[in-house]
Structure 1
Amino acid sequence: MTTMTAKISVRGVTKTFALGNEMFTALDDVSLDIADNEFVTVVGPSGCGKSTLMNILAGLEEPTRGQALVDAVPVSGPGPERGVIFQQYALFPWLTVRQNVEFGLRTARVPGSERRSRAEYFIKMVGLEQFADALPKMLSGGMRQRCAIARAYAVNPSILLMDEPFGALDALTRVKLQEQLLDTWSKERRTVLFITHDVDEAVFLANRVIVMAARPGRIYDVIEVDLPYPRSEGFRLSPEFAALRNRVWHSVYHQDGRRSAAPSPSSTA
């Protein structure tokens, strides 16, 4: 990749938790750079620390050692430049789609007319304009997640942190939302860190796939997906996709115990 200043930097991050009378290491000396507007997916076996890494970048947890930085500034808590999307949607059930999308703008005291126009823009972008006045209980799981994505985009974050956002959805809805997400990303570029346990999803979405190893959680491999966007059904059926999928699959499920060197800023940003 072209050398660029890192948007996100993770420097020697270790995270330990107390489990009874013992200490559990969720992350061990993880270092990683992500460039501005890069789409990076993180995949790995259960217990490899994927969500812990995202929570540290979101400012929801603090590292035991090391440092996470955004635009070279240490992360010290949640911030408006980082939008976070979870698997559970996290919509307010008593608010309509429009009101949910406007929520962050209202909190930021954005004037009413601008708040309404920005909400309408992103609601339309994710294809929910006919459901703007519907409550979440009236929506399918995929529609709720699209609402959550619109809400995250509306506050104009430069970074999106997504923790298995499509994990609870059926296969067809998941595929459609992957394509929808890439379409949205192509129009409204953001730096994206996308956590997933699905190898196909990781390859389909990413510029780079970060493969993690568990116990303790660490970076095992970094795989470039040097294939053009836009990506659609034809891309999934291509031999290039199959080759990359097989490489990532082998890296996730046939780990040999080696430990990859931490990526340098010049090679990953």
Structure 2
Amino acid sequence: MTATPPPLISFRHTAKHFPGPDGGFTALGGVDLHIAEGEFTVLVGPSGCGKSTLLGIAAGLVEPTGGEVRIDGRPVHGPGPDRGVVFQQYALFPWLTVRGNVEFGLRTAKVPRAERRRRAQYFIDLVGLSDTADALPKTLSGGMKQRCAIARAYAADPRILLMDEPFGALDSLTRSQLQARLLEIWERERRTVLFVTHDVDEAVYLATRVVVMAARPGRVHRAIDIDLPSPRTPAVRLTERFTALRTEVWRAVHEQEPRTAPSMDRKH
């Protein structure tokens, strides 16, 4: 019998309390969640359930007040090159071109110029920005800026992509186009992705597994495997199976009853 490989990302009783007047509030009440390498996990849930806080803890940008998160068995103590982060706001350097932004992490890591240029161009082509590689961010649309941010994250060669509502500020057409583009890149690169969204349709379309969270305090409510065909195309949204999964996730988000959820592991 083949042994199950250990998870790449492990949240173990991960909790976060924010102090403040009247005692503050607890954003996460002890999350147990294990994510396998190569998985595309999407977090959904009501506002205040701690989705972004959990992602921030994985990124090393937020310090938990209880429990821990481990990457490949090692505790997280701050940001690291093994994790790339993409936020809703593009956070591009306005004085650098698309190419300069994509190369920035590689330059910081002292990657030789020829290799830096090769890797940057590969991901610029992959996100469809070849014609604007020498343009400044101020000349780009919102969707193009987010493509640049995704290319920059991938070019640094992280094992994990952490994405916090990266398409939340975009119009519906641009959003659907970038969802399809992101899936194409994931199919080719197979990096582990942890993705936060409020959008149930987006979650079902992108994920290999949707993790539904409950609030007050934030915890895992339910995990739902998404057994849609791969490679996934936009036409899958028109299938009965997509509709059934969307309904299942929607009900898990909107029809929760308070309870303490068990550990949610990819293999259980």
TM-score of Structure 1 vs Structure 2, range by shorter chain: over 0.9
Contact 1:14 1:65 in 2 (8 A): yes
Matched, 1:229 2:233: no
C-alpha separation between the residues in 2 aligned to 1:66 and 1:137? 42
Q: Gaps (5+ residues) in structure 2?
A: none
Contact 1:42 1:193 in 2 (8 A): yes
Distance 1:266 1:165, change over 3 A: same
Q: Gaps (5+ residues) in structure 1?
A: none
* 1:265 to partner: Cα distance: 6.6
**TM-score, normalisation: structure 1:** 0.97
Matched, 1:73 2:74: yes
C-alpha separation between the residues in 1 aligned to 2:225 and 2:79? 29
Q: For residue 46 of structure 1, what is the amino acid of its counterpart? A: S
Distance 1:266 1:239, change over 3 A: closer
C-alpha separation between the residues in 1 aligned to 2:5 and 2:242? 26
Q: Alpha-carbon deviations, 1:45-69, whole Å to 9, x = none?
A: 0000000000000000111010100
**TM-score, normalisation: structure 2:** 0.97
C-alpha separation between the residues in 2 aligned to 1:265 and 1:39? 11
Q: Alpha-carbon deviations, 1:141-198, whole Å to 9, x = none?
A: 0100000000000010000000000000000100000000000011111000000000
* 1:3 to partner: Cα distance: 3.5
Q: Which residue of structure 1 aligns with residue 123 of structure 2?
A: 122
Q: Which moved more, 1:247-256 or 1:18-27?
A: 18-27
Where do residues 25-174 of structure 1 align in structure 2 (5 Å cutoff)? 25-174=26-175
Q: Secondary structure at the match of 1:144?
A: helix
- Counting matched residue pairs gives 266
RMSD after superposition: 1.1
Q: Which residue of structure 1 aligns with residue 244 of structure 2?
A: 243
* 1:266 to partner: Cα distance: 4.2
C-alpha separation between the residues in 1 aligned to 2:174 and 2:256? 31
What percent identity do the matched residue pairs reach?
Answer: 62
Contact 1:4 1:266 in 2 (8 A): no
C-alpha separation between the residues in 2 aligned to 1:266 and 1:139? 42
C-alpha separation between the residues in 1 aligned to 2:230 and 2:5? 20
* 1:229 to partner: Cα distance: 1.2
